Structure 1
Amino acid sequence: MTHRGWKRIKIQRNTWLFPGRNELIARYIKLRCGKTRTRKQVSSHIQVLARKKMRDEQAKKKVRKSPENSAQRSIEQVKTVVDGIASSKLRLTGFQTLKLDTVIEKYPKLLTELFDRGPPDAFFLAKCWANVSFDSSDTENSLYAVDSYYTSQHKFDISVSTKVCSFGNEVVEKVEVYSPDEENGHYCFRLERSPICEYMVKFISELKKLESRDYMNNVLENFTVLQVVTNQSTGETLMVIGFVFEVNDLPEANCSIFRLVA
């Protein structure tokens, strides 16, 4: 009988068969996640992770050699902090801000098209760290929702398109229209308790089933959200925010925001 993926080891004149590394990893995935992975799939995934680690290390070396070149900095290494997200016609309150250039492959081609049209000061990336170790058993009383607050000196209705993306492709889109309230000479938009889509709720539920934080973050590598805010009447792009996510063990969620540049 042929045992593929097993290694022959000779111990004191006796030959023993032991499962190889990839075979053990495939078995572990089957036990932990209930998913079947072939040895070739495991080997391919290990190679992808190794190449990613090598690229990250090379990028860090480039940053140390040329700190003045902001286009080569990784997201975590950009240091210039802005008070808030704001374009010339709309300001988003409640966030910090920064910039970026290397995540275009994580989003649909729409982001490139919008970026080419501009305005150049309207594009941002938010990297969000979250702790998913919360009790979600009470589904009837649980609410997955988002709060956002904008201010502007101009009066108009805004259309907010939120696209969930997987491997750079749009999976589902939610579109909402909001009218402003006038306060002290400014126009304020309150997007309060806006429920996230059913796809996102199921995604979070499945993500929580993965016991390893590394597995969760590997899944999140290919999961993003793209939010496009436009003038409802004219279709003018007011603000575009891409969201990337990572799981950590801190009790409070954290977010760093970067301005996207060419």
Structure 2
Amino acid sequence: MTSGAGEGSEDGSEKNVKQENVDSANLSTEDGNGMDDDGVWSSDIEVAFKEAMEIYPPCGRRKIILPDEGKMYGRNEMIARYIYIKTGKKRTRKQVSSHIQVLARRTDREKGPTTGTTGNSALGDVAAGNRRPQKVDILRLVHPSTYRLKGDDSKDLRMCEYEIFATQSSIGSVSDDGSDTQVLKHVFISIPEAAVAPSAVEDLSIGTILPDFENSKDGETSLAHLYEKSNHKDNFFLLKFWADADFHLDQTMDQKYELNARFQLDQNRPLEVTTQVYSFSKEAMRKEQNPQCFEENGRTYFELNWEFCEYGKGFIERLLLLSPNKDKMNVVLQHFAMLTYVKDSTTGEILIVLAQMFEVSRTEGHGQNVYHLIQTSP
């Protein structure tokens, strides 16, 4: 994906963010010893703060993943990191939070009870979450533009393709030759086969996402439980998607929402594939399949091809009704996740586990990143 030309990108800030080794623990401390008082921030700090406010808009409780470190941070911590990288001056997340609140109150006073916004209120609007930042590509500091698959150490099964898409067609109409009318397709998220390459992905501590996959209905298929009992811990991944939500929902047409995925196996074997949908960290629904393996060009594959049920279809369409407000759409998506795992139905062996989390892309098209989930020391 192409990065936007944001105000903070011309001086190489993206490069600095990824190369500097910032001690985020120091930036997140509760006290502000040795730091300026919040009310007397110098002009260079204020400039860096404004840039960071646009790069990192309000994101609710969802954390921001830094691929370099395999860790997740809150918005205020990321703003503090940015200020330190740009100016060399430290601010704690509490100081950042206080400064945001001060600006929001100042904006309220400027607006007054009956007047509109003033020319100086733009930053306050961003601070209060009332206005989506313009001209800054939020994705450029959050995820890379290419998909990289883990290396050759997981030989039993690997993912080749993954796609969620919508189709629209005229209700009940057929073309002159008796075939169905042309079907319009919109791809929300996709990992194309051409993008799959045997190179290393970023590692991410599995503990950072366990709360989003905590409560399964049977108590035995939460992400934590699957990881604990699996002998294939190298085959646990997080698929983070930035969806293309620029889709016009035509109420005069028939809509279908589908998922297609393809996997390559080491051998033909009986399979059981389970997909669990999580809402507010609790399992909301479950779908189980027993796909058949097939041979193609001397290799063994299986595919998942299924249409979303009424629950999934209703969720997508209610989400699309929030468009074009992508901030609101992302607030909804921060409470939504999917978990797919593949087992050998004869032995019960877990072959691969895919945790899936979603946001709406703020730029044209869709994007994705893949993280290898690992267990780190507490």
Name the TM-score, length of structure 1 as normaliser. 0.68
1:165 Cα shift? 0.3
1:251 Cα shift? 4.0
The total of aligned residue pairs comes to 207
Q: Tell me which stretches of 4 or more aligned residues in structure 1 moved more than 6 Å.
A: 45-49, 59-64, 78-81
Give the gaps of 5 or more residues in structure 1.
1-44, 65-74
* CA deviation string 1:149-180 (max 9, x = no partner): 11112111221111110111100001111111
Q: 1:58 to 1:235 in 2, by over 3 A?
A: farther
Match of 1:158 among 263, 271, 292: 271
Give the gaps of 5 or more residues in structure 2.
1-57, 63-72, 87-140, 162-190, 216-221
Q: What amino acid sits opposite 1:99 in the alignment?
A: D
Partners of 1:91 and 1:160 lie apart in 2 by: 14
Match of 1:54 among 69, 72, 76: 76
Aligned to 1:261: 374
Q: 1:199 to 1:55 in 2, by over 3 A?
A: farther
Question: 1:64-103 maps to which residues of 2 (within 5 A)?
Answer: 76=142, 82-83=148-149, 87-94=154-161, 95=191, 97-101=201-205, 102-103=208-209
| Cα root mean square deviation, aligned | 3.4
* CA deviation string 1:76-109 (max 9, x = no partner): 3689964468733111113455432211111125
* CA deviation string 1:224-258 (max 9, x = no partner): 01111111222110111011111124443222111
Match of 2:214 among 93, 108, 123: 108
Name the TM-score, length of structure 2 as normaliser. 0.48
Q: Looking at both structures, which has the greater relative contact order when contacts are Cα pairs under 8 Å and sequence separation is at least 6?
A: 1
1:195 aligns with 2:307: yes
Partners of 1:173 and 1:234 lie apart in 2 by: 21
Q: Is the 8 A contact 1:180 1:187 kept in 2?
A: yes
Match of 1:133 among 246, 257, 281: 246
Q: 1:46 to 1:256 in 2, by over 3 A?
A: closer
The structure in which a higher percent of residues are strand is: 1
